Amino acid sequence: MTKSELLSSSTDNESLTTARYPVICIDGPSGAGKGTVAWRLAQSLGYQLLDSGALYRIVGLKAFEAGLLTANSEEVIDEAALLKLTQSLNISFELNDDSGRVDIIVNGERVGEQVRNETVGGYASRVAVFAEVRQSLLELQQNMAKYCGLVADGRDMGTVVFPDAEVKVFLTASAEARAERRVNQLEKSGQAADYQAILQTIKARDERDENRSTAPSKPASDALVLDSSALGADVVYEQIKSYCQQQGICF
Ligand code: DC
């Protein structure tokens, strides 16, 4: 990708500062397969990958460690302190070819896999309802498209963070299909899994993410909506790849 491919239709100073490379948004609920397809697209295009859920997971985990969230109550103890904590975090990502995910580096330290568990997913969803928290993570996300093409995985990539993205996909699946996938994943890694408990947790998180007042999880009006409930990962990837090609992305 060369600088001349940057999307800037004019040469005034403002558009130069806001110029960016192509962006592919993959939004949708947890477990719909966004992470896998986003990773494969980023790998084959040589794009950066923004795992925006990881940003909210880090904030949720740090808020829990700081005593701003408790395991048993929905309440956030001190919103001003939560915002201060969010602003104090210096977060970056590195593609990790071995794990097929991005490594997250926070204030110079690599964060372990604990950030990926369902408990931390719940903390993330709870801190993500705060408009100020979202606002303070906005620039970091938008800056990631300034130096390289970007695949952005999240809930509000196409609606809020990159409203003029070249490609917007909303990848969804029924809560039941997502719960089944999670059970299979856990069982494969030798862990016990309770389908009903997982289903309830998924539904509760969907409900919060879809109904918050700021940047609720929903398809952008110009997004391709794809239901992966009955589709394998390869079919999902091929369908999204071909949609990207239709929208002018060259593989
Ligand atoms: O995609 P994930 O499961 O890692 O996301 C964890 C939570 O973070 C999700 O339940 C809601 C929140 N989130 C968000 O509000 N906006 C995003 N762009 C990404 C995630």
pLDDT band at 9 (very low <50, low <70, confident <90, very high): very low
Q: Distance (Å, rounded) from C-alpha 154 to C-alpha 217? A: 9
Asked whether residue 208 is assigned to any structural domain, the reply reads yes
Give the CATH number, domain containing residue 72: 3.40.50.300
Query: Residue 231 is which amino acid?
Result: L
- Rounded (5°) CA angle 143-164-169: 100
Asked whether residue 130 is assigned to any structural domain, the reply reads yes
Which domain, by its residues, includes 196?
3-10+21-246
DSSP string, 204-233: HHHHHHHH-SSS-S---TTPEEEE-TT--H
Overall number of domains in the chain: 1
Asked whether residue 16 is assigned to any structural domain, the reply reads no
Asked whether residue 251 is assigned to any structural domain, the reply reads no
User: Ligand 1 centroid vs 170 CA: distance in angstroms?
Assistant: 14
User: Ligand 1 centroid vs 155 CA: distance in angstroms?
Assistant: 6
Asked whether residue 144 is assigned to any structural domain, the reply reads yes
User: Ligand 1 centroid vs 104 CA: distance in angstroms?
Assistant: 15
56, 27, 71: which is closest to 220 by C-alpha?
27
Per-residue pLDDT tens for 111-169? Answer: 988 898 889 999 999 999 999 999 999 999 999 999 999 999 999 999 999 999 999 99
Distance of CA 114 to the CA centre of its chain: 17
pLDDT at 17: 53
pLDDT band at 28 (very low <50, low <70, confident <90, very high): very high
Asked whether residue 105 is assigned to any structural domain, the reply reads yes
pLDDT at 5: 41
Asked whether residue 180 is assigned to any structural domain, the reply reads yes
User: Ligand 1 centroid vs 246 CA: distance in angstroms?
Assistant: 28
125, 123, 131: which is closest to 210 by C-alpha?
125
pTM: 0.91
For ligand 1, say whether the CB of 125 is within 6 Å of any of its atoms.
Answer: yes
86: which 2 tokens? 């969010």
For ligand 1, say whether the CB of 121 is within 6 Å of any of its atoms.
Answer: yes
Q: Distance (Å, rounded) from C-alpha 120 to C-alpha 113? A: 11
Per-residue pLDDT tens for 175-226? Answer: 999 999 999 989 998 989 999 999 999 999 999 999 999 999 999 999 999 9
For ligand 1, say whether the CB of 60 is within 6 Å of any of its atoms.
Answer: no
Percent of the chain whose pLDDT exceeds 90 = 78
User: Ligand 1 centroid vs 39 CA: distance in angstroms?
Assistant: 16
Asked whether residue 49 is assigned to any structural domain, the reply reads yes
Mutate to test the pocket of ligand 1, among 26, 50, 52, 168 (most ligand atoms within 8 A of CB): 52
